[in-house]
Structures are given as C-alpha cells and as structure tokens.
Amino acid sequence: MSSDCIFCKIINGEIPSSKILETSNVYAFMDISPLSVGHCLFVPKKHSITAHTTDDDTLSEILILMKKVAIAAGFETYNILQNNGEIAHQAVLHTHFHLIPKNSNDDGLIIDWRPKEVQDIETIRDKILNNLVL
C-alpha cells in the first residue's frame, strides 16, 4: 500500500466507493467520473504503478473478471483501457483497467487514432526478440 494513493485508500475503505467485487487480488468499483453509464475500474489490491510491474496472476484475474462483469452488465460494445505513465494519460499512479461501455459515437471512450510513418520497425522488433522472457 502507498499511503498517499487514492486507490489504496479506496481498497482499504478509507475512501468510500461503489464496489462491484473484491477477491484476494482484485478490487473493482464504479468510476466516479464515468465516460458512460457502467464505466468501472479494476485495480490490483497490492499497490503497483504499471501493468508490467503487476504480478501475472493478478493481471490474468483482472481480465477474466472484466469479462464476467461485461457479461453481467449486458455490455455488447465497450473498450478496455489501461494506461501506463502520465504521458500515456495515467491519472492515478496505481495500476488500473477501465471497462467503458460504448453506446453511441458521443459517449464512452473517444479515440484520436493517428498512425505514424515509422521507418525502422526492425530495431525494436530485434530488441524484443533478444530480451523476451516467456
């Protein structure tokens, strides 16, 4: 736990939340600033800042729980969003996944997708292949 982390405070009950579920590893609750009705958050109970510093079991469990909540809520169209780092729009520095229903072009997640001309994709591919641990 990080003492100044808002999500750790929510998990510990110091800040109230509209809880959906809680397991030994994961806490899920309704987002207080939703992009659409049903927008909710899934967080590891053990404080971490990014997905790549979160343990594998918790990451796996979160995705399965998101699927179950999407089914329970009847979401047919939705986005799963997970941001790492402030420049990548991570507002709370505790790993979290957004489940965001999309009901129209005007609600939910709005994506400004701008593909770039990239000259060299082999250098990063080689780096991945040289360092990848499976």
Whole-number Cα distances in Å, 21 to 53, 65, 94, 129: 23, 9, 18, 38
Q: In the bound complex, what is the minimum distance in angstroms from residue 78's beta carbon to Zn ion? A: 25
96 as an active site residue: the answer is: yes
Between CA 64 and CA 78 the distance in angstroms is 15
* 2 interacts with Zn ion by CB under 5 A: yes
Question: For Zn ion, what does the binding mask look like between residues 74 and 93, x meaning CB under 5 A?
Answer: --------------------
Which positions from 3 through 32 interact with Zn ion, judged by CB under 5 A?
Answer: 5, 7-8
The residues of the shown chain that bind Zn ion, judged by CB under 5 A, are 2, 5, 7-8, 47, 94
